[in-house]
Structure 1
Amino acid sequence: MTVLPAPTFDWLAIRARLSPDRIALRDAAQDYASVTYRQWFERVNQTAHFLHNRLGVRPGDRVAVLARNSIAYLDVWFALGQLGGILQNLNWRLSRRELATLVADAAPVAILADAAHGETATELAQAHRLQRVSLDDRDSTSIAFGERAACPTTRMPPPPITPEAPWVVCYTGGSTGTPKGAVLSHRAIFANAVNTVLSWGIRPDDVTLLDAPLFHTGGLNVLTAPLVAIGGTSIVASGFAPEQTFDAIERHGVTILFGVPTMFIELQRHPRWATADFSRLRFVISGGAPCPMPVFEAFWAKGVAFRTGYGLTEAGPNNFWLPAAEVHRKPGAVGYPLWSVEACIVRSDGTACTADEVGELCLRGPHLFSGYWNNPMATAAALDAEGWLHTGDLATCDGDGCFRIVGRLKDMFISGGENVYPAEVESVLHECPAVAEAAVLGVPDPTWGEVGVAFVVLTEERSDAELTAFCRARLAGYKVPKRFIRLPALPKTGAHKVDKVTLRARLSRPDAPH
């Protein structure tokens, strides 16, 4: 296995020396005001002094943040890296009960929140005896984050930690159950950044739109940390909005863009799609879920190098890259392992799959997480004795060594003895002009064992017979959904992925449509 050096260092101290006047951040909420690397370093230094002196944060302490994306959020993340503290980035889409479970699990010393989540943060702080900080200084009953303005702009002394020290406890999206806290070390975040810069060709002049939520590894690590490593620019936005995305691409110099399929589907349904100028985009990468082929084709028709990536909280999240010359030759493939990533596909008995055989994807390398917080049993189930992470995702690898994701091991169902991969069926449904969104689940059936149920959002009415005929023309009969359930919109997780847990729960309700 290739092993990267993994120093523990102050990322922004280095950037402030190497490229002090380059723009590190732009604030979409403040008319795209810019922050240079020198200015950001000073902000982070002040934040580190505030966290250390006002809140008493020491190496190993957890600090929870419950807020939408902001530059202040990023300040806290990098200040904790400077102190040896640990960010617990809370998902603001969760209920108070769910958040209370996560706070009890990580036991942070403080919770920082914006005004929109102040009430919830106050309740959590009172219940768990936490210090409460108002990020935007709108809550007079909390400590004001603005106090940091009086703190020194000089760098804090380096903390006594190793590269294995945790930097983030990032809770998984919970799409398959209760979220688990993946521990991301300084080593893992550094390795992912190096892998991405070296393998994706990230450049100092690259600009991205950071609208993926910072409570998700996608917001932190797909492009944000790699761009800091190389000295690029992130436009910080509180969340995804199609108008904002078009503006960032056409008016504010975005060159690379990351999102999940539902975001790109919304962009393509927007009136501005037809006339949008994407000439400055070097590439667009989709992750988080399988992407329907019509989404690829719509971007390709506009001359955009659109490709799909693959990642998960426990690994990077960046793992593969498909060279430009193969984007059209191998559509939908995630490509080849990055610089220090090892990948293999295994059968249920642990033996290696042959070329094009479907099996479980396993990953290994310095970009892997350290395990799950307070959960050794889950850690042991995910990481084997040789250091391989068993992802729970199904994939194939062709004769060229190029990988393709087929779907989730838990999503796959067996109908009449044949394997059915919902991602494939969903991609076909998205080819139908009347289908805006689609999600497929396997459900028990007395005849076939399991059959597919499709949840669809339609732009114009189609009968079940018409949808069935459309699928039958493109899929084997056993893959065609046996029921179609129409919804005004599909439920989404906080990371803007389709929430299949909610959809499955809907099927079990007595009033579920048939």
Structure 2
Amino acid sequence: MASASTPIDWLARRAQLSPNRTALRDARDGYAPVTYGAWFRRVNQTAHFLQQRLGVRPGDRVAVLARNCPAYLDIWFALGQLGGILQNLNWRLSPRELATLVDDAAPVALVTDTEHAGVAAELARSRSLRLVSLDGDTTPALAERDTYPPTPLPPPPIGPEAPWVVCYTGGSTGTPKGAVLSHRAILANAVNTVLSWGLRPDDVTLLDAPLFHTGGLNVLTAPLVAIGGTSIVAGGFAPDQTFDAIEQHGVTVLFGVPTMFIELQRHPRWATADFSRLRFVISGGAPCPQPVYEAFWDKGVAFKTGYGLTEAGPNTFWLPDDQLKTKPGAVGYPLWSVEARVMRADGSPCPPDDIGELCVRGPHLFSGYWNNAAATAAAFDADGWLHTGDLATCDADGCFRIVGRLKDMFISGGENVYPAEVESVLHECPAVAEAAVIGIPDPKWGEIGVAFVVLTQDIADADLAAFCRARLAAYKVPKRFVRLSALPKTGAHKVDKLALRAQLTEGTPETQKGR
């Protein structure tokens, strides 16, 4: 029998409490339903396969490079049963970026789908990793799990603080950091969300946010497992798929990034779509333009501005329906066990409506960064507050609003872009002497990157973009290149990005050359 300190086997509990409720539907397989009882048995087989075929032990990492599918979730929850750790790889990254992450976490196996098999095979071959096919017949293949028993394994010898996911984020220096999400943190996020957002067992969501982000794993997926709701698993975002899921398959709660909602509103089906069963929509990942959420309000849908970060759940706040229009754009009040505070640079709390850094505290926080004690120490203060690097205000009612970022990271289409990483790549180009990147507002993507470059030789914008694209994910590649004779510097000889931004605003003759 499990001890009091052993983490909960989520699906074992669900199989006892609601075995016949629908847990999953597969959008790529005719929305075929899977009950909690059936899912539990399938995950048990997956755990046996991982343990006996691949030798996965408590603390081992298993990397997954694949699009969303039910089998991806099987791997995640099977690792939870084993005490193993999921490393959810971002398939949008370049092979070089992926290699850096794999080398950092040192997984014992790499699981991939057919679409990404080529990149995964090279990563595995050069590192002597076991390569597992998620949806094919390459040996070993996940399909082999069908030969294993559907009975649960004994509980692993781990406690609630044991890592369950290492989810990589970027950093202000451009160096990726693996945020360690423990069993404790993922459970706390789920409990906070269920209690504060009012999730119900009859709720249904469309899981089209990628599982390589905490948003795909933890905004609604894990909380709905906790309460016994349903996730429709989709390989990615597609407007028609979203409208079908809402109108034909009973979606009641929906998470996405602003770019997705903009695409929905530009689609021909928007005007006639039936949103009568949609209880609420929550937007995260980037600032959402007010006309976007007002268009949902006009449809009678409670559209909310969310806020979160990998290191904190990610779910952090909630705004009640009756305050949507009195506090438009606010993220709301801290969730059930979340503490939040707006702080000055000296660590003292800001008075109401003053801008300061948002800091949060509670059991939903991550444990630290994988193999990065210095970054972990920098993230927390002596009192356990996580310093988010985001600027916020808190009004007299205790309602929070996000107003900007301390760091110069920007968000393009829901993806974090860290200028230092892009600048580092640009500096690799022989034609570039100096480079600086900033994010600017964009009506479609939320923000896009603009690169200011000082060149040693002439090179076309398309060639600069191609150089970056060979080394970076596409969303990180600057959309504009501005040529300067020299980058402006501060008194400390640092690049003056405020001056660069002012040049764009003022449209000086030199910046006009890059348009």
TM-score, scaled relative to structure 1: 0.81
- CA deviations 1:438-467 (Å, max 9, x no partner) are x9x9xxxxxxxx9x9856468xxxxxxxxx
Find the counterpart in structure 1 of residue 90 from structure 2: 91
- Specify whether residues 361 and 513 from structure 1 end up closer, same or farther in structure 2 by C-alpha distance, changes over 3 A only: same
Find the counterpart in structure 1 of residue 221 from structure 2: 224
Give the Å deviation of 1:216.
0.2
Find the counterpart in structure 1 of residue 47 from structure 2: 48
- Match of 1:503, SS state, is coil
Give the Å deviation of 1:411.
3.6
Give the Å deviation of 1:502.
3.3
Give the Å deviation of 1:145.
1.1
Aligned residue pairs: how many? 440
- CA deviations 1:118-150 (Å, max 9, x no partner) are 011110111111100000124x3x411110000
Find the counterpart in structure 2 of residue 331 from structure 1: 328
Pairwise mapping of residues 199-218 of structure 1 onto structure 2 (< 5 A)?
199-218=196-215
Contact 2:360 2:385 in 1 (8 A): yes
Contact 1:6 1:190 in 2 (8 A): no
Q: Choose which of 235, 240, 256 in structure 1 pairs with 2:237.
A: 240
Find the counterpart in structure 2 of residue 288 from structure 1: 285
- Specify whether residues 456 and 185 from structure 1 end up closer, same or farther in structure 2 by C-alpha distance, changes over 3 A only: closer
Q: What is the alpha-carbon distance in structure 1 between the residues aligned to residue 484 and residue 111 of structure 2?
A: 38
Find the counterpart in structure 2 of residue 503 from structure 1: 478
Q: What is the alpha-carbon distance in structure 1 between the residues aligned to residue 102 and residue 90 of structure 2?
A: 11
- CA deviations 1:199-258 (Å, max 9, x no partner) are 000000000000000000000000000000000000000001111000000000000000
Q: What is the alpha-carbon distance in structure 2 between the residues aligned to residue 62 and residue 158 of structure 1?
A: 18
Find the counterpart in structure 1 of residue 20 from structure 2: 21
Give the Å deviation of 1:410.
1.8
- Specify whether residues 151 and 333 from structure 1 end up closer, same or farther in structure 2 by C-alpha distance, changes over 3 A only: same
Q: What is the alpha-carbon distance in structure 1 between the residues aligned to residue 276 and residue 268 of structure 2?
A: 18
Q: What is the alpha-carbon distance in structure 2 between the residues aligned to residue 149 and residue 323 of structure 1?
A: 45
- Match of 1:268, SS state, is helix
Instruction: Note the aligned Cα RMSD (angstroms).
Output: 2.7
- CA deviations 1:393-449 (Å, max 9, x no partner) are 00000000000001111249xxxxxxxxx99xx9xxxxxxxxxxxx9x9xxxxxxxx
The amino acid of 2:246's aligned partner reads I
Q: What is the alpha-carbon distance in structure 1 between the residues aligned to residue 358 and residue 474 of structure 2?
A: 22
Q: What is the alpha-carbon distance in structure 2 between the residues aligned to residue 104 and residue 34 of structure 1?
A: 37
Q: What is the alpha-carbon distance in structure 2 between the residues aligned to residue 350 and residue 185 of structure 1?
A: 27
Give the Å deviation of 1:498.
11
- Specify whether residues 220 and 332 from structure 1 end up closer, same or farther in structure 2 by C-alpha distance, changes over 3 A only: same
Contact 2:5 2:160 in 1 (8 A): yes
Is 1:386 the counterpart of 2:383? The answer is yes
Q: What is the alpha-carbon distance in structure 2 between the residues aligned to residue 453 and residue 234 of structure 1?
A: 34
Is 1:397 the counterpart of 2:372? The answer is no
| Structure 1 portions without partners, runs of 5+ | 413-421, 427-438, 442-449, 459-484, 486-492
- Specify whether residues 264 and 371 from structure 1 end up closer, same or farther in structure 2 by C-alpha distance, changes over 3 A only: same
- Match of 1:29, SS state, is coil
- Match of 1:234, SS state, is strand
Is 1:198 the counterpart of 2:195? The answer is yes
Q: What is the alpha-carbon distance in structure 2 between the residues aligned to residue 277 and residue 453 of structure 1?
A: 36
The amino acid of 1:8's aligned partner reads P
Contact 1:290 1:407 in 2 (8 A): no
Contact 2:164 2:181 in 1 (8 A): yes
Contact 2:172 2:408 in 1 (8 A): no
Give the Å deviation of 1:177.
2.1
The 4+ residue runs of structure 1 with deviation greater than 4 A are 173-176, 452-458, 507-512
Q: What is the alpha-carbon distance in structure 2 between the residues aligned to residue 164 and residue 135 of structure 1?
A: 29
Contact 1:214 1:220 in 2 (8 A): yes
Pairwise mapping of residues 436-455 of structure 1 onto structure 2 (< 5 A)?
454=440
**Percent pairwise identity:** 73
- Specify whether residues 33 and 513 from structure 1 end up closer, same or farther in structure 2 by C-alpha distance, changes over 3 A only: same
Q: What is the alpha-carbon distance in structure 2 between the residues aligned to residue 157 and residue 335 of structure 1?
A: 42
Find the counterpart in structure 2 of residue 465 from structure 1: none
The amino acid of 1:159's aligned partner reads P
Q: What is the alpha-carbon distance in structure 1 between the residues aligned to residue 205 and residue 307 of structure 2?
A: 18
Q: Choose which of 327, 346, 349 in structure 1 pairs with 2:346.
A: 349
Q: What is the alpha-carbon distance in structure 1 between the residues aligned to residue 263 and residue 84 of structure 2?
A: 38
Q: What is the alpha-carbon distance in structure 2 between the residues aligned to residue 323 and residue 68 of structure 1?
A: 33
TM-score, scaled relative to structure 2: 0.81
| Structure 2 portions without partners, runs of 5+ | 420-435, 445-460, 462-468, 486-510
- Match of 2:357, SS state, is strand
- Match of 1:295, SS state, is helix
Give the Å deviation of 1:92.
0.3
Q: What is the alpha-carbon distance in structure 2 between the residues aligned to residue 104 and residue 151 of structure 1?
A: 31
Is 1:261 the counterpart of 2:258? The answer is yes
Contact 1:250 1:277 in 2 (8 A): yes
Contact 2:481 2:514 in 1 (8 A): no
Find the counterpart in structure 1 of residue 298 from structure 2: 301
Give the Å deviation of 1:506.
3.8
